[in-house]
Amino acid sequence: MYDKNKTTKEEICDYWFSRINESEFSVDASEASERCWRCGYKRNLERCHIIPKSLGGKDVPSNYVLICRRCHLENPNVADSDIMWDWLKAYKESFYDTFWINRALEEYEKIYKTKFENDIEPFEKHITSEEAKELINIDMKNLTTHHFGQSYLNSATIAGLMRILIKKLRMEFNIEEK
């Protein structure tokens, strides 16, 4: 692939993880070359300018962080480097591989004005969380798609799958919405 930036990912990791406090971020120093510094998922990482090139940002290790494609579509593009670090820290997750599920749970609450855990609670005696996951996985294959160029389901889609599960359970067990 054509690659016009000469700073390597290793240089970026070495530069920052000798300077920043890893406990403030979603990724540990030991995995900073493999996991996204914002969401903490193991993904193909992209070099993301802290200050965009068009605003005078330079091709040097101090002007990059490593984030996944999905986070790269959401990062701030401003001529003040503090803003990038504010953003990364604000999204810190303590556990790996929970970030996007938590975003979907927030999306669910935004749309349905209640937490998914409240909606699933009446069914917890009928269905284990493993069974619920399995049902969601089946629907994921049959009922969803993603935007062109995206290899993931966005938060609204996952929230939708959670809602479809609740609707099915309510029908099956004849439980009305509270």
Q: 31: closest CA among 82, 162, 39, 118?
A: 39
Q: Which is nearer to Zn ion, 39 or 165 (CB)?
A: 39
- Interface residues with Zn ion (CB under 5 A)? 36, 38-39, 68, 71
Smallest gap, in angstroms, from Cβ of residue 91 to Zn ion? Answer: 9
| Closest separation in Å from C-beta 26 to Zn ion | 8
Q: Kindly tell me which of 71 and 161 has the beta carbon lying closer to Zn ion.
A: 71
Nearest approach, Cβ of residue 9 and Zn ion (Å): 14
> Which lies closer to Zn ion via its Cβ, residue 46 or residue 139?
46
Q: Decide the pairing of beta strands 64-68 and 45-49.
A: antiparallel
